[in-house]
Chains A and B, each alone.
Chain A
Amino acid sequence: MDDMKIKLLQALEQNHKISIKTLATMLKISEKEIKEMIEELEEAKIILGYVTLIDWEKTDNNDNVTAIIDVKVTPQRDVGFDTIAQRICRFPEVKSVYLMSGSYDLSVMIEGTSMKKVAFFVAEKLASLENVQSTATHFVLKKYKQDGIVFEEDENDHRLVISP
């Protein structure tokens, strides 16, 4: 992939609300080229979506609970971990699924409206899947940083207004 595409992706990864016009000025290429590149990247599924990072704690809708579950599974012949991972992905409660090195295999992040619902999901849906050997559930108590963004940070500019 060429250098310009990487630069475009890096800019969009930080802020996808940035306008095509601004992107064109920043990267010194035409708006048309930017548009085409974005379309191309979307089609190639390199850009998978544009999500917004929200601190739900600051809203009234803040009683969701998040859990990270270590899942041990028996890999299957020919397909390894892929089939079971894809099955787990299909549940809408599941926010992310990673294959891990180390003492367990899949790291599954789940969000639910209550602890009970998450526990129920793990017991009924996840642990009962064929090939799942065991699960260990860790509830998230507080989020400090996600996707490179610190939730509560002192953002004051300490600089003098004018300096040489």
Chain B
Amino acid sequence: MASGIKGIISLGVGESDFVTPWHIREASVYSLERGHTNYTPNSGLPELRQQICRYLHKKFGLEYDYSQEILITVGVSEAIDIALRCVLEPGDEVIIPEPCFVSYKPCTLMAGGAPKTVSTQEANHFKLMPEDLEEAITDKSKVLLMSYPNNPTGAVMNREELEAVARIVEKHDLLVISDEIYSELNYNGDHVSFSSLPGMKERTVLLNGFSKSFAMTGWRVGYAAASEDIISAMLKVHQYTIMCAPVMGQMAAIEALKNGEEEVKRMKAHYDQRRNLIANGLNQMGLSCFEPKGAFYVFPSIKSTGMNSLNFCEELLKEEKVAVVPGDAFGQCGEGYVRCSYAASMEQITEALNRMERFLQRQQKQKKIFALNN
């Protein structure tokens, strides 16, 4: 619906507005010029896996063996799919905190699992509460699949909060698939990787990639880090369905890890300032939102308008040509919210906020007239 309209400002995009940093693009072009156009090993280029291990060690103090415990995938999306396919037996329950990325439930179902969602609340800043997790667990629970910093809410979880989750995971002998694709975009201190918590490395399939941190969405490069058992099982599915992740993306990813840190910092600083601008603007116009601490999304409540999420998005698009995403696209408990991405320029954000304010004022006026006439 949105794609055909002219003059549209989109805050509905789940990817960076920055183009991949030039040195990364250049490295990939250079690798093509040198003729790197062949298959890579199924698990990915050894140099890339080594760089990833170095990165995980430096950032989170993690120790992984590049030859046995890392698999390069076609984005984290593939990794989610094959991880679930490898660990689930028919009927196994997968606990999924919502709102969450759109693929978790369908991938669980396709792998023969039973998704069991746990609603997270705005009052708790959309963090996973230990008591809610505990309540969702049954004898059939096998996996906890979660992602912090979170798409769509912008929630992050700190060390203590994750440790509380870890204790429950241990108690009920669960496996955790931790999608940490937004790990570089934490504005509230350093990201804590779930697998770095005591005793959790063996229980965690850590998923991460290059899309969000290095603005490399279209390259489709992600990775899984886990125990040798799980990685070797994932590798089997991967090698028969994908063969290997595209070589030019892998070459680019090597350059990203080697020399990309400055660019990541630069982009993060931009997001951070836009985050303040948009959260403040939304709150001021009466769409209350908690201050998001990660990723590049805000998740304001639109309950005050009396509209449902889809309705709000459609009307806003029709009347003011601003595209945002209905919150219930990310799970039932996202109803009453919309996702706005601030991976957009300062000018676009300011203009979108102006248009949204105008839209709200008009809605309010109509509501009043309606009330007077009845």
CA distance A25 to B349 in the complex (A): 13
Give chain B interface residues in 327-349, CB to chain A under 8 Å: 329, 346
Q: How many angstroms between the C-alpha atoms of A15 and B347 in the bound complex? A: 11
The digit string for B92-103, where 1 denotes a CB below 8 A from any CB of A, is: 000000000111
A-B contact pairs, 19 of them (CB 8 A): A7-B269, A11-B273, A22-B350, A25-B276, A25-B277, A26-B274, A27-B276, A159-B13, A159-B15, A161-B3, A161-B10, A161-B12, A162-B2, A162-B12, A162-B325, A163-B13, A163-B15, A164-B103, A164-B329
Chain A: minimal CB distance from B19 (Å): 9
**Complex CA–CA separation, A155 to B356 (angstroms):** 25
- Tell me the complex Cα distance, A11–B273, Å: 9
Which residues of chain B are within 8 angstroms of A160 by Cβ–Cβ distance? 3, 13
A102 to B153, CA, bound (A): 54
Chain B residue numbers with a CB within 8 Å of A77 are: none
| A163 pairs with B346, CB closer than 8 A | no
A18 beta carbon closer than 8 Å to chain B: yes
Determine the chain A residues whose CB is within 8 A of the CB of B325 once the complex forms.
162
* Interface: B14 (CB within 8 A): yes
Q: Note all chain A residues with C-beta closer than 8 A to B102.
A: 164
A163–B2 alpha-carbon span in the complex (Å) = 11
Instruction: Select the residue from A22, A157, A161, A162 with max chain B CB neighbours within 10 A.
Output: A162
Q: Contacts of A18 on B, CB cut-off 8 Å?
A: 346
Which chain A residues have a beta carbon within 8 Å of chain B's beta carbons? Answer: 7, 10-11, 15, 18, 22, 25-28, 157, 159-164
Specify which of B3, B101, B323, B346 is in contact with A164 (CB 8 Å cutoff). B101
Q: A18-B346, A22-B350 are in contact. Are A161 and B2 (CB under 8 A)?
A: yes
How many Å from the CB of B18 to the closest CB on chain A?
11
Check if B8 is an interface residue, CB within 8 A of chain A: yes
> How far apart sit A160 and B218, CA to CA, in the bound complex (Å)?
11
Q: How far is the CA of A157 from the CA of B8 in the complex (A)?
A: 12
Docked-complex contact B14 and A163, CB < 8 angstroms: yes
Contact residues in B for A28 (Cβ distance below 8 Å): 276
Q: Which residue of A lies closest to B345 (CB)?
A: A157
Q: Cα distance A25–B13 when bound, in Å?
A: 23
**Is B280 positioned at the interface, with any CB of A under 8 Å from its CB?**
yes
Answer whether residue B17 sits at the interface, using C-beta atoms and an 8 A cutoff: yes
Residues of A within 8 A of B323 (CB): 161-162
Output the nearest chain A residue to B279 by Cβ-Cβ distance: A25
The residue from B12, B101, B103, B277 contacting A26, defined by CB atoms under 8 A apart = B277
A100 to chain B, nearest CB (A): 26
**Which of A27, A163, A164 is close to B273, meaning CB atoms less than 8 Å apart?**
A27
Q: Nearest-CB distance from B47 to chain A (Å)? A: 29
Is the pair B273, A159 in contact by a Cβ cutoff of 8 Å?
no
Neighbouring A residues of B277 by C-beta, 8 Å: 22, 25-26
| Interface pairs A-B: 4 shortest CB-CB | A26-B273, A162-B12, A161-B2, A163-B14
Bound state CA distance, A27 and B102, in angstroms?
A: 33
Whether B13 lies near A162 (C-beta < 8 A) is yes
The winner among B2, B13, B15, B274 for most chain A CB atoms within 10 A is B13
User: Whole-angstrom distance between the alpha carbons of A22 and B13 in the complex?
Assistant: 23
Across the interface, which residues of A come within 8 angstroms of B276, CB to CB?
Answer: 25-28
Min CB–CB distance A34 → chain B (angstroms): 13
Complex-state Cα separation, A25 to B3, whole angstroms: 31
CB-nearest residue of chain A to B12: A162
Contact between chains at A163 and B17 (CB < 8 Å): no
Give the complex CA separation of A61 and B104 in angstroms.
Answer: 59
CA distance A130 to B329 in the complex (A): 75
Please name the residue on chain B nearest to A162 by beta carbon: B12
**Neighbouring B residues of A162 by C-beta, 8 Å:** 2-3, 10, 12-13, 323, 325
The complex places the Cα of A26 from the Cα of B3 at a distance, in Å, of: 30
User: With a CB–CB cut-off of 8 A, which chain A residues contact B103?
Assistant: 164
Distance of B10 from chain A, by nearest CB (Å) = 5
Q: For chain B residues 1-23, which have a beta carbon within 8 Å of chain A?
A: 2-3, 8, 10, 12-15, 17
Closest to B350 in A: A22
Taken together as a complex, chains A and B put the C-alpha atoms of A11 and B269 apart, in Å, by 10
